Amino acid sequence: MIHLLRGAFVIARRDFAATVLSKAFIFFLLGPIFPLLLGGVFGGIGARVASQTEQPVVAVVSSAQDYSLISASRQRIADTMPDSMVVQIAHYAPEPDLAAQQKKLLASRSPPVRAVLTGGLADPHLTGSVRSDAQAVAQLRLILADAKAAPAEPPELPVTATATSSGSVAKDRALTGQIGQMLLFFLTLLLSGMVMSQLIEEKSNKIIEVIAAAVPIDSLFIGKLFAMLAASVAGIVVWISAGALLIQLINTGGLRNLPDPAVGWPAFLALGVVYFAMNYLLLGSIFLMIGAQASTVREVQTLSMPATFAQVIVFGFAATAVAQPNSTEALVAAVFPLSSPLVMLARAAQQSELWPHAVALAWQAVWVFFILRLGAKLFRRTVLKSGPRAKWWKFSRA
């Protein structure tokens, strides 16, 4: 055992140094900036495109008086939600040939007309490419009903503002959980891919045989996994520190303004690192096993694709737990080892109890132990295999 751990340490030390002291690690640290920049650039472009694109409207062919009531009613609804979510309307005075006017309006491109409302408030009729159960039609019904009714002053509603409420906190915490899950998922997937690529490089360098002759091959497996884990934890610490500093600088009130996760920030961040470690060790082991089977990058890509897809499905499964953390689905996702770290991190954002995390971490540790052992065993059997490959149905005898 000491021999194994010592060998793993030697390999982990080399891999860690090679990773952290390489120029590529600077790009790795700068990695999160690129999606933020791209998001900003494309978000800005999208917003400009959206604002410049003319929204389709419902042409209201009516008297000016009717339109005034309809427009006021629409405005009352628009006051309760973003204006872009309320059906857009435009007024047209009736022409002698109503049918021809209707036809002309439906063919109009400036503004693009979605439907034409005729008959005013007395006998409204909608013509156009809309279904009767469409959201826009439902909104128009409300608008017309409100416009027909005698306008009444809304009752006074005195408001006493509090910093938080259960509703707002739950929403914010769910968002924190979702973001945490997403970061955990993408980071783990990225690093698992990286550790697998390193293994392939090692196999192509032929250094693997020198290592295998000196230390148990399990040492290589464990050393590589933990070296990348250590490098990524170093990266996470840098990202968290940089992120906190940035928020402190640009947000009035700094970190205090962020919605607190249910377990509090220190515990949440600590759990985030531990769950990341668990998730990475589970997924990284699987990817290393895949890497051991492959000898070229092309083979790796082919072999890792099913594992990546499976992980995306697991992520989707875990994401359902955010909405209802105490549901049966969430419990199943928390028990399933590959989704457990993702689910539990989201839970840490939403629920304040710490004991479920102790149980989950113990459960995940058991699985990490078994998967590491299985991974190391398969890795040992296949990583240096030369000659024809054993058939998969004979794998147990290999």
Partner 1 sequence: MLQHVSNSVAAAGLAVEAVDLVKDFGDTRAVDGVSLAVPTGSIYGLLGPNGAGKTTTLRMLLGIIDPSSGTRRVLGRDRPLDAAREIGYLPEERGLYPSMYARDAIAFMGALRGLSLAEGRRRADVLLAEHGLGDWSRKSIRSLSKGMAQLVQLLGTIIHKPRLIVLDEPFAGLDAINQGRLEELIRREARAGVTIIFSTHVIAHAERLCEHIAIIASGQVAFDGSVAEARGRLRPIVRLRTRASEGPWRSAIPEGARVEAGEWVFELPKGGPEPLLRALLDGGAGIETLAIERPGLHDAFVAIAGNKAAAAMGATGNGQ
User: Of 13 and 256, which has the nearer Cβ to partner 1?
Assistant: 13
CB distance 7 to 1 below 8 Å: no
238 by Cβ neighbours in 10 Å (0-12 / 13-18 / 19+) ranks as middle
User: Of 140 and 217, which has the nearer Cβ to partner 1?
Assistant: 217
CB distance 77 to 22 below 8 Å: no
User: Of 6 and 103, which has the nearer Cβ to partner 1?
Assistant: 6
CB distance 228 to 17 below 8 Å: no
User: Of 14 and 148, which has the nearer Cβ to partner 1?
Assistant: 14
- Please state, as a whole number, how many other Cβ atoms lie within 10 Å of the Cβ of residue 27: 11
Nearest approach, Cβ of 224 to partner 1 (angstroms)?
13
Nearest approach, Cβ of 3 to partner 1 (angstroms)?
7
Nearest approach, Cβ of 207 to partner 1 (angstroms)?
4
> Which residues, in sequence order, are bridge partners of residue 92?
61
User: Of 24 and 72, which has the nearer Cβ to partner 1?
Assistant: 24
CB distance 38 to 250 below 8 Å: no
Nearest approach, Cβ of 297 to partner 1 (angstroms)?
17
Longest dimension (CA), the chain: 97
User: Of 2 and 250, which has the nearer Cβ to partner 1?
Assistant: 2
CB distance 229 to 277 below 8 Å: yes
Task: Go through 275-292 and write b for each residue having 16 or more CB atoms within 10 A of its CB, e for each that does not.
Answer: bbbbbbbbbbbbbbbbbb
What is the contact surface with partner 1 in residues (CB under 8 A)? 3, 6-7, 10, 13-14, 18, 22, 205-217, 384-391, 394, 398
Nearest approach, Cβ of 214 to partner 1 (angstroms)?
4
Nearest approach, Cβ of 213 to partner 1 (angstroms)?
4
- 49's CB contacts (< 8 A; 6+ apart) are none
